[in-house]
Structure 1
Amino acid sequence: MTFCVYVLLGVLFFGGLGIWAEVVKYYYFRAPNTGAEAIITSLTTYFPALVGAASLQLMFENRNSKPLLAFAVLCLCVLGAIAIWLAIDPSAFYSVVSCVAAIWIWWIANARAEAFRDDLDIDTPLGGNPGKTPPGSLQGFNH
């Protein structure tokens, strides 16, 4: 639960606040000199920051795992190249796809983070230890 809330609030809402600001300006205020280009630009600047942070996190936390290191470097290089390309030739479709890919890479980098793990009691679905005698008595109960 903590992980999902962090993804929704931290990564998508607060991390994407620049995107949301442009969407609100475009759709609700019809501000002059704003268009879909501003939304595309905000998408194009969102995903490199997210994938860069997630890739560096993968590199620092998994120094002994060569497959994860290779994955992090590959993601950083590919999405970095896409970011440069989109800065020159903007595309809404590729910006959105790149944002989804960046969120997926962030998910991989943080899926096992201790900070996002919820401590669960394995007896919770049962209501506690079924072998333990409940408190109280049946004295005075007439059946």
Structure 2
Amino acid sequence: MTEHVTKQKNGSWAILGRELQKRTFEPFGHFSFVAYFLLAVCAVGGTGIWLEAYSYFLLPPDPTGTPNSLSPLRTAVITFFPALAGSASLQLIWAENNQKSLRAFAVLVIFALTIVAVFIAPSVAVHHKTALWVGGFASIVALWTWWIANAHQKDLLDPVLDPDVTLGKKNPTAELAGDLDGFTT
């Protein structure tokens, strides 16, 4: 019985690992999925970050010569990753009825990234650049969480088209079944 329990424990880790690997790499074969991810999630979803990065790096300092502050960029990053990770994690929790390990993984992600946000939020305790590095890494984890949560989302995946499906047979040059006898307009 001990051997069975040991195999079962190692098995759920292995199953989770395979599922995460599968969900990480399979969507790359679907242009629509990747385009949606880049445009909707990264570009539009990250608008607050892009606007604050633009303000910090490309706008001149104010007329008094005070350099631009990293504080707004920091706030944008700290509000981006918990929201994205939270929604993606809850999607996994609610959608994956049969995969307890994937649901538990989602709980772990939402918990860990919430703790990260709470710890890097106070500007007195954590330097802006440190918060941005940690927030950047957390944002990558949040984006990956969204990716794996939506890896099986049929609306985002390209259909695999078989040209023979529309004909109903394997030989597309063969005569079609049936006739038009008795058909009137």
Shift of 1:130: 8.8
Equivalent residue in structure 1 for 2:121, among 66, 77, 87: 87
Give the match for residue 46 of structure 2.
Answer: 16
Q: Hey, what's the Cα distance between the residues in 1 that align with 2:47 and 2:157?
A: 26
Do the aligned residues in 2 keep the contact of 1:51 with 1:103 (CA within 8 Å)? yes
Equivalent residue in structure 2 for 1:2, among 32, 40, 51: 32
1:1-80 → structure 2 map (5 Å cutoff): 1-32=31-62, 34-80=68-114
Q: Letter of the 2:34 partner, please give it.
A: C
% identical aligned pairs: 35
Range with greater deviation from structure 2 (25-34 or 37-46) = 25-34
Q: Letter of the 2:145 partner, please give it.
A: I
Q: Hey, what's the Cα distance between the residues in 1 that align with 2:142 and 2:152?
A: 17
Range with greater deviation from structure 2 (9-18 or 60-69) = 60-69
Q: Hey, what's the Cα distance between the residues in 1 that align with 2:74 and 2:95?
A: 32
Aligned length: 130
Deviation by residue 1:39-95 (Cα, 9 ceiling, x = unmatched): 222111100000000011001101332101100110011111001001123512101
Q: Tell me the SS of whatever aligns to 2:104.
A: helix
Equivalent residue in structure 2 for 1:112, among 131, 135, 152: 152
Q: Hey, what's the Cα distance between the residues in 1 that align with 2:134 and 2:57?
A: 21
Root-mean-square deviation (Å)? 2.1
TM-score by length of 1: 0.81
Shift of 1:103: 0.4
Q: Letter of the 2:116 partner, please give it.
A: I
Q: Tell me the SS of whatever aligns to 1:115.
A: coil
In the alignment, structure 1 residue 99 sits paired with structure 2 residue 139: yes
Shift of 1:132: 3.7
Q: Unpaired runs of 5+ in structure 1?
A: 135-143
Q: Unpaired runs of 5+ in structure 2?
A: 1-30, 175-185
